[in-house]
Amino acid sequence: MTDLTGTRIAILSTDGFEQSELETPLEKLRGMGATVDVVAPGGVESIRGWDEDDWGDAVPVDVDLAEAGAGEYDALVLPGGQINPDVLRTEEAALALIRAVHAAGKPVAAICHAPWLLIEAGLAEGRRMTSYTSIRTDLRNAGAEVVDEVVTDGNIVTARNPDDLDAFVDAIARALTGAGRAAA
């Protein structure tokens, strides 16, 4: 198992995240020794997931988005779900954090519908990326080359859906340790 001791990761989310797409990376990355903060806008104490066809469980928020800075983190994880990334892509502070982490050359990882955030942040053009099937046209229209696998392109990691969670977390760990990182 990869040792991420000393690594600090932010998971940026709000209500309506796909339950497994936040909880699995949170648990697995912490299990590798990383410090992982759930970051959310609005000064809330917790956010609530979406689990298949109804509201899921609440997850405690560690850091308010207004207080999160790219310099504090070694990577940024963006869980999907339809609601969460759609809401966050209207939050300028969320887009600013995504852009700043990317500009610092740190891994930005997005799964399912979360590549909407990468599109909105202006980071999709010229990249090899994937997403949930329903937003692949959005990726193409933003100038990305869409593939059907977990993919790392430079410091951006993307995955399709919850079936990819193990490979997604492995790709994040590889990006953090420098192994398997494609040229930007």
- The answer to whether 102 is a known catalytic residue is no
State pLDDT tens for residues 13-49. Answer: 999 999 999 999 999 999 999 999 999 999 999 999 9
Q: What is the pLDDT of residue 182?
A: 41
Query: Residues 28, 102, 106, 113: which is the catalytic one?
Result: 113
Residue 81 inside a domain? The answer is yes
Tokens representing 15 are 């209500």
Distances (CA, A) of 184 to 46, 53, 152, 156: 35, 38, 10, 9
For residue 61, give the amino acid letter.
V
| Number of domains into which the chain is organized | 1
Q: What is the pLDDT of residue 179?
A: 57
Asked whether the predicted pLDDT for residue 180 surpasses 60, the reply is no
Q: What predicted TM-score, i.e. pTM, was given to this entire model?
A: 0.96
Distances (CA, A) of 87 to 32, 98, 158, 182: 30, 14, 19, 30
Residue 44 inside a domain? The answer is yes
Say which CATH number the domain at 20 has: 3.40.50.880
Lowest mean pLDDT across 51-55, 64-68, 150-154, 161-165: 51-55
Residue 182 inside a domain? The answer is no
Average pLDDT over residues 91-112: 98
Q: Please compute Rg for the chain using Cα positions.
A: 14
Asked whether the predicted pLDDT for residue 126 surpasses 70, the reply is yes
The closest of 128, 129, 44 to 87, measured between CA atoms, is: 44
Residue 135 inside a domain? The answer is yes
Q: Distance (Å, rounded) from C-alpha 138 to C-alpha 119?
A: 8
Instruction: Please state, rounded to an integer, the average pLDDT across all residues of the chain.
Output: 95
Average pLDDT over residues 153-162: 98
Asked whether the predicted pLDDT for residue 181 surpasses 80, the reply is no
Can you give the residue range of the structural domain that contains 25? 8-177
Lowest mean pLDDT across 37-46, 69-78, 173-182: 173-182
Lowest mean pLDDT across 65-79, 119-133, 140-154, 168-182: 168-182
User: Do 119 and 134 meet the contact criterion of CB atoms below 8 Å apart?
Assistant: no
Residue 183 inside a domain? The answer is no
